Amino acid sequence: MADFKAEQPQQPLHPKEQRRANLAIVVALGAAGLAAWQAWETHLARTESAKALGVAQNALDVSTKQFRFEHRPKLEFSDYTVDTDLLHHTISAVVVFVNNGKIEAKNVKVKAQMEIVHSDDRDNRFVMPLMDKDISSMTPTMTFNILFGLKQFTASEFRDTQTGRVHIYFTAAFEYADEFGEHYGDSKWCGQYSPGRGQSQVFIDCRTGVAFDSSR
């Protein structure tokens, strides 16, 4: 049979050596804890930095949108004149639009038309396209005129326009862009010819019924 040597029991460390071993363990644990704490602090700092950057970016986006909204071009109704020729039974109007915005309107597309509607047959509308035009730009305060010229009416038809039996609507729509590349198609206007309200209130707003101011 093979001889086996009995395993010798391990001698306990000297008290000084035990203290040094314990100290080494404590130092190692402390270093590991410090490293973990530093890593966590770095993670928190990066997270807070990312949040702060996101908040700043959102604030910048909101500020930019607000600036562009406040400074956008605005093509709006400004004024009009109306010529009612009782002798020749014709009606014509010149409607003035202006860029009330603070920056230039570019690539302006204008469409205008007239509609004649009889009060007894509102579904039967006579539509006459009057303008389909492109304008390269309209700077702030720049105006643009649209001539709404009507065909000559018969005596009976003209009388109906003056008594309110026939309603005449002038409409204009604008599409344009600004220098930032934003596009707008919200500039629409509709005026109803309403001579019964007096010469100074020949046009009323189709949507609100409010009379447009006129220089005449």
pTM score above 0.75? no
Residues belonging to the chain: 216
- 118 with 163: CB under 8 angstroms? no
Radius of gyration of the chain (CA): 41
Burial 10-38 (b: 16+ CB within 10 A, else e): eeeeeeeeeeeeeeeeeeeeeeeeeeeee
Give me the pLDDT at residue 181, please: 87
What's the mean pLDDT in 170-185?
92
Measured torsion, CA atoms of residues 194, 195, 199, 200, in degrees rounded to the nearest 10: -20
Q: What is the pLDDT of residues 23-68, one digit of tens each?
A: 666 566 676 777 777 777 787 777 777 776 766 567 655 666 676 6
d(CA 48, CA 42): 10
Q: Is the separation of the CB atoms in 154 and 164 below 8 Å?
A: no
- pLDDT at residue 174, rounded to an integer: 94
> What's the rounded Cα separation, in Å, for the pair 69 and 62?
10
Residue 203's nearest CA partner among 128, 74, 92, 42 is: 92
pLDDT at 216 over 50: no
State the pLDDT confidence band at 13, using cuts at 50, 70 and 90: low
Quote the pLDDT of residue 215: 47
Q: Is the dihedral of CA 45, 50, 55, 59 positive or negative?
A: positive
pLDDT at 195: 80
Contact 78, 96 (CB under 8 A): yes
Give me the pLDDT at residue 81, please.
85
Q: What pLDDT does residue 14 have? A: 59
DSSP type of residue 209:
-
Q: pLDDT: is 10 or 164 the higher one?
A: 164
Name the more confident of 11 and 93. Answer: 93
pLDDT of residue 57: 62
For residue 172, what are its two tokens? 């204009």
What is the spatial distance between Cα 98 and Cα 78, in angstroms, rounded to a whole number? 6
Nearest to 105 by CA among 172, 183, 18: 183
Residue range 75-127, pLDDT digits in tens: 999 888 888 888 888 888 899 999 999 999 999 999 999 998 888 877 778 88
Strands of the sheet with 105-118, listed across from one edge: 121-138, 105-118, 166-177, 183-193, 203-205
